[in-house]
Amino acid sequence: MFNKYLYFASILLFIAWTLASCGSSATSPALDAQASGGMADSTPPIFCNGFKSLCDRRLDQVVLATAHNAMSNQDEGWLVPNQDHGLITQLDDGIRGFMIDVHPYDGDDATQTGKTYLCHSSCTLGAEDFAAAMTKIRVWLDEHPHEIISFILEDYVPEAAMNAGLDAAGMLPMCWHQAEGQPFPTLRTMINSNQRIFIMTESGGGALPWNHGYQTFAWDTDYANKTPADFSCARLRGKAGNPLFVINHFITNPLASKTAATQANANPLLADRLQQCLKETKQLPNFVAVDFYDVGDLIADVAALNALAVPSP
C-alpha cells in the first residue's frame, strides 16, 4: 500500500536538498551538486552522486536510477526505442545505472561488420560504436568528478572485444575491481581513487578484473512484464542474498512504449512497488530500471529512497 505520508516526507526532503544545492557550483542540471571539472580534481567529495549522505555509504547501500536499454533512444533515431534521450542527456538528467546491449555489428554498413557496437537485437534498428559511446561517457565523468555510475551489459561479444573498447575510451583505469565476497567500497572511496565505474556482464563475468558476473553480484525481478499486474518482488535471476538488488520496472507488450512507461513510472504505482520490495526483501533496491525514464517519478522516487534509506550492516 502506498504510504502517502512517508512519500510526501521523502519528497519534502528531496526539495530541501534541491534548494540547498542551488547555491553550489554544480555544472549538471540534475543530481551532480558539486562537479568542479576534470578527473584531476583533488577536492574531497562533499556531494557524492548529488548527496552528502551518500559519500560514506557503500555502493550496495545506494539506489541508482537506471535506464533499461539505455542506448536505444528516440533523439538519435533508433527504431522502437526504449528511451527518449541519448546517453549524455541521461547522465545530465540523473541516470546513474545503464542497461546496454553489446553486439557484433550486423547492420547495413558492411565496413563495420563484426565490430563492437551498441545495438538492440539487430543493429539495423539503431547502432552506436561501443568505444565511441564509452568515450563520451568517460569525458562526462571527467567533467563530473564526484559521480559514480554502473553498467549492466547484455553482452554478445568476447570479453577481449569489450576490453578493447573500454581501453580505447580511456575507461579501464576508472573501473572498480570488486572481489567476490568482500564489502563494496563507499562512494567516497570510489571517487577518491577515480575508479567510479562498476561493470557487470550478463554472460557471467570473465578473467579481467573489471568484468563482474551479473548473477554473482546481483539478483533481479522478472523483466517480462506485460501489464502492471505482473510486477512483483520475486527473484528471477541471481542468488538470494547477492549484494545488489535490481528491480526491473518496465512493461513490454509486445514492445516498449511511452504509453506503458507513463503508467509504470508514475506514483503511486512506482513508489508502492519500491516500498513493497523493500519491505518484502529487507534489501534496498540498488538499480530501479525503467523505460522512458523522463516520464513519471523515477528520479524523485530514487532521490527519496536515498534520502531516507538507512544503510544496511
Mean pLDDT (whole number) for 86-115:
97
Q: For position 259, what pLDDT does the model report?
A: 96
CA 220 – CA 236 distance, rounded (Å): 6
User: What's the rounded mean pLDDT across residues 209-230?
Assistant: 98
- Look at residue 208 in the predicted model and tell me its pLDDT: 98
* pLDDT tens by residue, 130-164: 999 999 999 999 999 999 999 999 999 999 999 99
Residues 6+ apart with CB under 8 A from 22: none
> Is the residue at 215 inside a domain?
yes
Find the CATH number of the domain harbouring 148.
3.20.20.190
Residue 147 lies in a domain: yes
Residues 214-221 have a mean pLDDT of 98
Average pLDDT value for the chain: 88
Give the range of the structural domain holding residue 297, as residue numbers without chain letter: 56-308
Answer yes or no: is 172 within a domain: yes
Inside any domain, residue 2: no
Phi, psi of 112 (to 5 degrees): -105, 0
Task: Give me the pLDDT at residue 201, please.
Answer: 98
Phi-psi region of 80 (alpha: psi -120 to 50; beta: other; left: phi over 0): left
Q: Which segments within the chain are labelled E, that is strand? A: 64-67, 97-104, 116-120, 122-129, 149-155, 197-201, 212-213, 218-220, 244-248, 287-290
- Return the pLDDT at 26: 34
Task: Tell me, yes or no, whether 285 lies in a domain.
Answer: yes
Q: pLDDT over 90 for what percent of the chain?
A: 82
Sign of CA dihedral 292, 296, 299, 303: negative
Q: Would you say residue 232 lies in a domain?
A: yes
Position 297 in a domain: yes
pLDDT above 70 covers what percent of the chain? Answer: 84
How many other C-beta atoms can be found within 10 angstroms of the C-beta atom of residue 179? 8
Residue 298 included in any domain:
yes
Q: Which residue has the higher pLDDT, 225 or 16?
A: 225
Tell me how many domains the chain contains.
1
pLDDT band at residue 11 under the 50/70/90 scheme:
very low
**What per-residue confidence (pLDDT) applies to 309?**
52
> Between the CA atoms of 100, 189, 147 and 178, what dihedral angle is there, to the nearest 10 degrees?
0
What is the average per-residue pLDDT within 69-91?
Answer: 98
